[in-house]
Amino acid sequence: MSIYDRFGVAPVINASGSVTRLGGAPMPPAVLDAFRDAASEAVSMEQLQAAASRRIAAVTGAEAGLVTAGSAAALTLGTAAILTRYDPGKMERLPHCDAFPHEFVVAREQRSGYDHAVRAAGARLIEVGFNEIVANAGVRRTEAWEYEAAFTPNTAGVLYVFAPHSQPPLADVVERAHHQNLPVLVDAAGELPPRSNLKDILATGADLVAYSGGKAIRGPQSTGILCGRRELIGAAAVQMLDMDDHLELWDPPADFIDKSWLGGLPRHGIGRALKVSKEEIVALLTALDLFASGAYDADLPQFRSWLETIAAAVKGLPVRCAIVDKGDGQSPPWLEVTLDEQGLGRTAFDVCRSLRNGTPPVYVSHGKLAQGTLVIYPLCLNADRAAMLGKRMGEELQPR
Ligand SMILES: *Cc1c(COP(=O)(O)O)cnc(C)c1O
């Protein structure tokens, strides 16, 4: 019996990992306990976010940090902070910012649907570079000089989407941007593990970095982290917090928001729609501690054993199985099941759809369907779900 039965919604077996459309990563018991305990008392949100800032700073090496409503919210708030700094008039006007610099330079190859979060604050994206490799029309990727060549008096900053093989190197982009006194906002939402990325990305000199709290960190699905320069984090916080107070009474911790920098008390900012609850903040910080301490590494052998269970269940069927492991001792392995589509008489797309429509619904990762491959991520499985998933795959992969 699932609590979701009460609402007439069937729980699914999620073999897609921490994806948002299936509710993200499972929260460990300590995180759930923290959430429940935090809910039972009231607290000043400025003080709680200031405490979060100190914890995030300790883990990342940043000057300051903020718990946000996901990494996308962190991008909107980071953009807003860069656009307005501590100017309450600009804060009030967002997302309308024609009257001040509001362009963010971004590599064309780093554009994605997630940059809507940057545009939502009012910023306009200016693309540089090309997509020659994808177009099979050249061999070069975006180069650092192209950013600098695109800077104009209307440029507010740079957006950089961090990935293991992103180009040009972030440090080079930071150097070009800082040369013109422009800040760099980094989307590193899904770039954990490795744990070292908590510090290494900021160590390039990047001004603000956004991480998801509901992916590998296993905090509440609706949380994220924005960390970086104190002044920008303060400007982001002012635009997210509930500002219905009197300037004379409002007393945020000065190491988090320096009131003296503000020309007046702004009203609710653009981030007021992106609020996080005290429970979410406490739970995210608890999960961050677990993640940063390496506690999740102990789960890796179990993850692998579940993948082996699933691979064993489809043995002898017209598929080829491979367990893939980054080998960093931190990242969960995954299972790739490549179909003999001719032998089966069905495509990976067909099988993926049947699995979703079965009982219970099973969602395998759909990133390699075009290559005939179903991908199984173990993060949201357990022993029972792995056994059920293996059974359902065994049924669906019978030659017809
Ligand atoms: C997941 C992801 C996001 C969004 O993160 P949320 O925490 O779900 O808001 C943004 N950018 C990239 C590259 C992502 O992978």
Each residue's pLDDT tens digit, 228-278:
999 999 999 999 999 999 999 999 999 999 999 998 999 999 999 999 999
What pLDDT, on a 0 to 100 scale, did the predictor assign at position 103?
Answer: 98
- Angle value at C-alpha 361, between 356 and 367, nearest 5 degrees: 40
Kindly state if the Cβ of 23 falls inside 6 Å of ligand 1: no
CA-based nearest residue to 285, from 218, 240, 231, 236? 218
- Specify the pLDDT at position 1: 84
Retrieve residue 347's tokens: 């495509």
- Strand, coil or helix: what is 336? strand
Residues of the chain short of pLDDT 50, as ranges, are: none
Probe target for ligand 1 pocket from 212, 227, 276, with the most ligand atoms within 8 Å of CB:
212
State residue 345's pLDDT score: 94
What value does the CA radius of gyration of the chain take, rounded to a whole number of Å? 23
Residue 140 host element (H or E): none
Q: What pLDDT score does 400 carry?
A: 75
Tell me which fold the domain 42-293 belongs to. Aspartate Aminotransferase; domain 2 (3.40.640)
44 lines ligand 1 (CB under 6 A): no
The pTM for the full model equals 0.97
CA 284–ligand 1 middle distance (angstroms) = 16
User: Relative to the CA of 73, which ligand 1 atom is closest?
Assistant: 9
User: Tens digits of per-residue pLDDT, 329-341?
Assistant: 999 999 999 999 9
Q: 190 CB under 6 A from ligand 1?
A: yes
Extents of the domains making up the chain: 3-21+296-396, 42-293
Token digits of residue 104: 């963010």
What are the DSSP E strand ranges found in the chain? Answer: 13-15, 64-68, 103-107, 124-128, 155-161, 184-187, 208-212, 224-228, 319-324, 334-339, 362-364, 373-376
Q: Is the CB of 189 under 6 A from ligand 1?
A: yes
For ligand 1, is residue 70 a contact (CB within 6 Å)? Answer: yes
358-397 pLDDT, tens per residue? 999 999 999 999 999 999 999 999 999 999 999 999 999 9
Return the pLDDT at 107: 98
3-21+296-396: CATH class: alpha beta
